[in-house]
Amino acid sequence: MLNLIIRNTPKHILAASVALLMTSSAAFAVDLSTLEVITPTLLAPPMVMEHNQAAKGDAKLVKFEMVIEEKLIEIDEDGTKVWAMTYEGTVPGPMMVVHVGDYVELRLINPESNSLEHNIDFHAATGALGGGGLTHVSPGEEVTLRFKADKAGVFVYHCAPGGTMIPWHVVSGMNGAIMVLPREGLTDKAGAALTYDKAYYIGEQDFYIPKDEEGEYKEFESPSEGYEEMIEVMNTLTPTHEVFNGAVGALTGDNAMTAKVGESVLFIHSQANRDTRPHLIGGHGEYVWERGSFDDDPATNQETWLIAGGSAGAAFYTFKQPGVYAYVNHNLIEAVLKGATGHVVVDGDWNNDLMEQVSAPAEIKK
């Protein structure tokens, strides 16, 4: 029913009615003047902003700023390009990190140089379509939204301007994630602390790039010029590209993630539109919050886990062997033919107890 309303209601009326709902009935002023204010610096994925794992002190007012940027980006080594719609210029947008009970305040800026209206729907937030109903900004406008982070977990945020604009903006890269940590940090099911040495954010993205008569991927002058043909490809439900962090190879080679033997790494993985199934080749998901909620006990020692389209999940692993690990979407067609592969390069000493090549490949003995 709600979907029907959203689809059939002009977006400005929808935004106005949500705003009206917010102010018409028993709205009360919130006094946050006693809260400590912090203004973290967001980082381009796969890096995650500096943060405390266990919260220090009381709840805070955490102020972020994101600039929306429509930009032509290359998504494959063959030069295939797409007009990406981005938060802060990256696909996915940056990972925000706060703690349960904190207030998230986002100043969202849509510069005059853009061509489209955008907004933001936080799956971590409560009310007004995740804030989507209160954040429509046309080029040349800005808006500020505040919500209380009252659910612990990792959650997607994405653009949702209305109707067909919603999937089009999301598959043009306009999505990211927020991590709302428990105030005590992550724990196993017995309550023991799970402290990570580093966190990486992998945002998986399905792209739907139209082809010309010769079968070559088409490039357009503006996002809108490619809209109709992209919708046709989207209607096949078959992505032409399925990539990590905006491009084939964005997390391999020189761009690989790194770790050391003995280090624990938290891999946060989001897919705003389509189901996926992360697998760390040569390692395991020792603790996995598959559905994203940190209020649930993590599953342990998973080989492959599922990230449902429209969600984020987190996996914690302590590396035990050096070498190159492939972090993949284990639909291997999507990993190898469509692009959803990353690498983790791990330094350290080899452990023969865990694995040894007892004899090297040689001719079969007669």
174 in contact with Cu ion (CB under 5 A): yes
Task: Show contacts with Cu ion in window 213-272 (CB under 5 A).
Answer: none
Question: Which of the residues are catalytic?
Answer: 118, 121, 123, 158-159, 169, 174, 279, 303-304, 330
* CA–CA distance, 40 with 37 (Å, rounded to integer): 10
To the nearest whole angstrom, how small is the minimum distance from the Cβ of residue 165 to Cu ion? 7
Task: Show contacts with Cu ion in window 303-362 (CB under 5 A).
Answer: none
Taking CB under 5 A as the binding criterion, the range among 86-94, 161-169, 212-220, 230-238 that sits at the site for Cu ion is 161-169
Instruction: List helix spans (H) across the chain.
Output: 2-8, 11-24, 165-170, 223-234, 332-336
* Core vs surface per residue 2-31: b (16+ CB within 10 A) or e: eeeebeeeebeebbeebeeeeeeeeeeeee
- Other CB atoms within a 10 A radius of the CB of residue 190 amount to 6
Beta-bridge partner residues of 299 = 288
The DSSP secondary-structure symbol of 256 reads -
To the nearest whole angstrom, how small is the minimum distance from the Cβ of residue 122 to Cu ion? 14
DSSP 341-359: EEEEEEES---TTT---SS
Kindly tell me which residue out of 145, 159, 178, 344 binds Cu ion, with binding defined by CB under 5 A. Answer: 159
Q: What is the 3-state secondary structure (H, E, C) of 95-126?
A: CEEEECCCEEEEEEEECCCCCCCECCEECCCC
- Output the six-digit token pair for 289: 């919050």
66 in contact with Cu ion (CB under 5 A): no
* Residue 154 contacts residue 312 (beta carbons within 8 Å): yes
Q: Which of 50, 44, 38, 28 is nearest to 103 (CA)?
A: 38
Kindly tell me which residue out of 11, 60, 118, 338 binds Cu ion, with binding defined by CB under 5 A. Answer: 118
To the nearest whole angstrom, how small is the minimum distance from the Cβ of residue 177 to Cu ion? 16
Nearer to Cu ion, 85 or 199 (CB): 85
Nearer to Cu ion, 148 or 158 (CB): 158
279 in contact with Cu ion (CB under 5 A): no
Kindly tell me which residue out of 123, 169, 338, 343 binds Cu ion, with binding defined by CB under 5 A. Answer: 169
The CB-nearest residue to Cu ion is 159
Binding to Cu ion by CB under 5 A, coded x per residue (else -) over 176-215, reads ----------------------------------------
To the nearest whole angstrom, how small is the minimum distance from the Cβ of residue 144 to Cu ion? 17
- Which residues bind to Cu ion, rule: CB under 5 A? 85, 118, 159, 169, 174
